């Protein structure tokens, strides 16, 4: 059973890497951003204010797996509201147990902002995936274009930069690399290269596990 924590800013390539690692290692994958997005969606749909602590916390507590599995959680309004609900400590607290239980059942790859720092500070492998704001905004814009939404690059850059800023500055579980996280910069690495770099770390950990298993009891 292995737990892999992948953190980093928006559109850095965390999801692509996490899915590939999960498929390769036969592990479940949890995109924890969807929990915040789904919470935000519940609030918006009820006509509530995502910055209101009580409303957002009640939504987080009421969240179901079906809410987080919805296909309409990636629009810009939901993204902005997700960043707002994510800054509320009681919302984060309400979503914590689910994330831990999910990964503790069979191991998992989780991606988010605070997986290696707060949710699983003892994760077996911690990766911090990042890229320049321009590179990330271009990728996000391409995703929008693929869905038929043409948003000017300058607007996407402004949106990505504003969310990064909010995620980094908040006091509750801010976006920061864990001290022992391996940095993967996808400005210059393509998806294959990022995957190979991540697998190097996984293999190192697996080698340690198998050495520990082979060692006779009482030795270290």
Q: Which is nearer to ligand DC, 86 or 202 (CB)?
A: 86
Question: In this chain, which stretch among 46-54, 63-71, 106-114, 143-151 interacts with ligand DC, using CB under 6 A?
Answer: 106-114
> How far apart are alpha carbons 72 and 83 in whole angstroms?
16
Strand partners, 130: 185
Question: How near is the Cβ of 125 to ligand DC at its closest, in Å?
Answer: 17
Among 30, 112, 123, 178, binds ligand DC (CB under 6 A): 112
- As given in the structure block, the two tokens for residue 90 are 């009681």
Among 30, 63, 86, 131, binds ligand DC (CB under 6 A): 86
- As given in the structure block, the two tokens for residue 174 are 């801010």
Question: In this chain, which stretch among 41-49, 82-90, 136-144, 153-161 interacts with ligand DC, using CB under 6 A?
Answer: 82-90
In the region spanning residues 125 to 164, those forming contacts with ligand DC, defined by CB under 6 A, are: 163
Contact 87, 170 (CB under 8 A): yes
Question: How near is the Cβ of 138 to ligand DC at its closest, in Å?
Answer: 16
Question: In this chain, which stretch among 48-56, 78-86, 152-160, 186-194 interacts with ligand DC, using CB under 6 A?
Answer: 78-86
> How far apart are alpha carbons 141 and 104 in whole angstroms?
35
- What is the contact mask toward ligand DC in residues 17 to 46, using x (rule: CB under 6 A)? ---------------xx--xx---------
Question: How near is the Cβ of 113 to ligand DC at its closest, in Å?
Answer: 4
Among 20, 41, 113, 140, binds ligand DC (CB under 6 A): 113
Contact 155, 72 (CB under 8 A): no
- As given in the structure block, the two tokens for residue 199 are 């697998």
Contact 21, 27 (CB under 8 A): yes
- As given in the structure block, the two tokens for residue 107 are 């191991």
Q: Which is nearer to ligand DC, 72 or 213 (CB)?
A: 72
Question: How near is the Cβ of 76 to ligand DC at its closest, in Å?
Answer: 11
Please work out the total of residues on this chain that contact ligand DC, with binding judged by CB under 6 A: 13
Q: Which is nearer to ligand DC, 32 or 186 (CB)?
A: 32
Q: Which residues bind ligand DC (CB under 6 A)?
A: 10, 32-33, 36-37, 82-83, 86, 112-114, 163, 167
């Amino acid at each position: 059973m292995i737990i892999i924590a992948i953190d980093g800013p928006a559109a850095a390539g965390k999801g692509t890497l996490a899915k590939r690692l999960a498929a390769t290692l036969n592990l479940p994958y949890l995109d924890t951003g969807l929990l915040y997005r789904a919470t935000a969606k519940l609030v918006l749909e009820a006509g509530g204010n995502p910055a209101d602590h009580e409303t957002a916390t009640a939504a987080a507590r009421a969240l179901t797996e079906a809410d987080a599995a919805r296909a309409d959680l990636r629009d810009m309004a939901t993204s902005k509201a997700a960043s707002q609900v994510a800054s509320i400590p009681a919302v984060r607290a309400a979503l914590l147990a689910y994330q831990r239980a999910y990964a503790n059942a069979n191991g998992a790859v989780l991606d988010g902002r605070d997986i290696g720092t707060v949710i699983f500070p003892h994760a077996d492998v911690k990766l911090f995936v990042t890229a320049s704001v321009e590179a990330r905004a271009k990728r996000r814009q391409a995703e929008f274009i693929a869905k038929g939404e043409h948003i000017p690059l300058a607007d996407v850059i402004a949106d990505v930069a504003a969310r990064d800023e909010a995620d980094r500055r908040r006091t509750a579980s801010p976006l920061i690399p864990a001290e022992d996280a391996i940095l993967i910069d996808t400005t210059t690495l393509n998806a294959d290269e990022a995957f190979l770099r991540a697998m190097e770390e996984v293999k190192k950990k697996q080698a340690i596990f198998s050495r520990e298993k082979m060692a006779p009891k009482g030795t270290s």
